[in-house]
Amino acid sequence: MVSKELENAINKQINAEFWSAYLYLSMSTWFAHEALPGFANWFKVQFQEEQDHALKFMNYLISKGNKVELKPIEKVDTTWSSVLKAFEDTLEHEKVVTSLINNLVSVSRKENDYATENMLQWFVNEQVEEEETAQAMIDSLKLIGSNGFGIYTMDKELAQRSYTPLTATTTA
Ligand code: FEO
C-alpha cells in the first residue's frame, strides 16, 4: 500500500486529471462552435488522453490496495477570446499539472516509496511533452497572427491527430 498522505495526494491528482479532461473537452466544443473542426479534434484527443492519465493513477492505487476517491469536478471556462488564448491557457494549466506531479515525486521520495516514484516517472516525461507541444502551438499561432489562411491550414493539419489509448501495460 502507499501511505495515507500519498493516497490523498494521488486522489487529488486523479481529480486534477479529470478537470484537465473537462477543460479540454470544453475547448473542443468551443472550437467546434467557432467552425474550426481540426482544432476541436485536437482538443478532443487531448480530452481522451487526460482521461487515460486519471485512469493510470486510479489503476495504480487499486493495484496497491489503496482506496480511489472520485471527487467533484470544478467548473471550467466555456469561451476564449482567441485561438491563441486557448493555447496560452493550455500551457499555463500544464505548468500547474507539472508542479503537482513534481510535488508527488517529492512526497514519494520523502517516504522512500520507490514504486510510486517509478510510476511517476512516466508522468514527469509526459509533462515535458505536454508543455513542449503547447508552446509549439503558441509559437505557430504567433507566426500566423491574424492570417485567416494560416488558421485554416493549421485547422486542416490538426484534424489529422488521432487518439491512441495507453496500452493495458502502461495504464496498470
Ligand atoms: Fe495529464 Fe496534460 O497532463
Nearest-atom index, ligand 1, CA of 127: 3
Structural domains counted in the chain: 1
pLDDT for 123-163, tens place per residue?
999 999 999 999 999 999 999 998 999 999 999 999 999 99
Amino acid letter, 54 = A
Which residue matches cell numbers 491512441? 164
Q: Of 66, 77, 84, 70, nearest to 30 (Cα)?
A: 77
pLDDT for 105-120, tens place per residue?
999 999 999 999 999 9
Q: Of 53, 60, 61, 164, nearest to 98 (Cα)?
A: 53
Using DSSP, state whether 14 is helix, strand or coil: helix
Query: Is the pTM higher than 0.85?
Result: yes
Which three cell numbers mark 29?
466544443
Residue 54 CB–ligand 1 contact under 6 Å: no
Give the distance (Å) from ligand 1 centre to CA of residue 81: 23
pLDDT for 52-98, tens place per residue?
999 999 999 999 999 999 999 999 999 999 999 999 999 999 999 99
Which residue matches cell numbers 488558421? 151
Using DSSP, state whether 172 is helix, strand or coil: coil
If one compares 131 and 171, the residue with the highest pLDDT of the two is: 131
Residue 113 CB–ligand 1 contact under 6 Å: no
Give the distance (Å) from ligand 1 centre to CA of residue 168: 18
Long-range contacts of 161-168 (CB under 8 A, 24+ apart): 161/41, 161/42, 161/45, 162/45, 163/44, 163/45, 163/48, 163/49, 165/48, 165/52, 166/52, 166/55, 166/56
Domain span holding position 161: 4-171
Q: Are 23 and 76 in contact (CB under 8 A)?
A: yes
Q: What distance in Å separates the CA atoms of residue 15 and residue 66, rounded to the nearest whole number?
A: 16
CATH at residue 167: 1.20.1260.10
Which three cell numbers mark 9?
495526494
Q: Are 50 and 24 in contact (CB under 8 A)?
A: yes
Residue 94 CB–ligand 1 contact under 6 Å: yes
Geometric angle at alpha carbon 13, from 7 and 17, rounded to 5° = 145
